[in-house]
Amino acid sequence: MSGSGRSRSGSSREAAGPKGATADHLVAVAHEVLAGTPDIRTEKLKALKRQLDTGTYHPDEGAVAEGVIREYLAKADRKG
């Protein structure tokens, strides 16, 4: 006996998503998109790791600061 009080007959996978798409359909579409997406990040991360290991990683402090400020301001705008 489940203590949650929820019925198991209505699966969340059957729930309609955007424009009536089911969760299963959305997951299938996401898998298709990911399958066609090149795995660039892996190579970028390997290059960064090599730079860290060799002591040659020198990020642009100005760009980092701008990104932090931009992200902070974006969060402040969302909070209203």
Spatial contact of 64 and 70, defined as CB atoms under 8 Å apart = no
pLDDT tens, residue by residue, 37-75: 877 788 899 999 999 999 999 999 999 999 999 999 999
Mapped onto helix, strand or coil, the DSSP state of residue 47 is helix
Give the Cα separation of 12 and 27 in Å (integer). 12
Give the Cα separation of 61 and 30 in Å (integer). 35
pLDDT tens, residue by residue, 30-45: 999 988 887 778 889 9
This prediction has a pTM of 0.39
Tokens for 7? 């019925």
Domain boundaries, the chain: 8-37, 40-79
Mapped onto helix, strand or coil, the DSSP state of residue 5 is coil
Model pLDDT, residue 43: 87
Give the Cα separation of 69 and 80 in Å (integer). 17
Model pLDDT, residue 20: 67
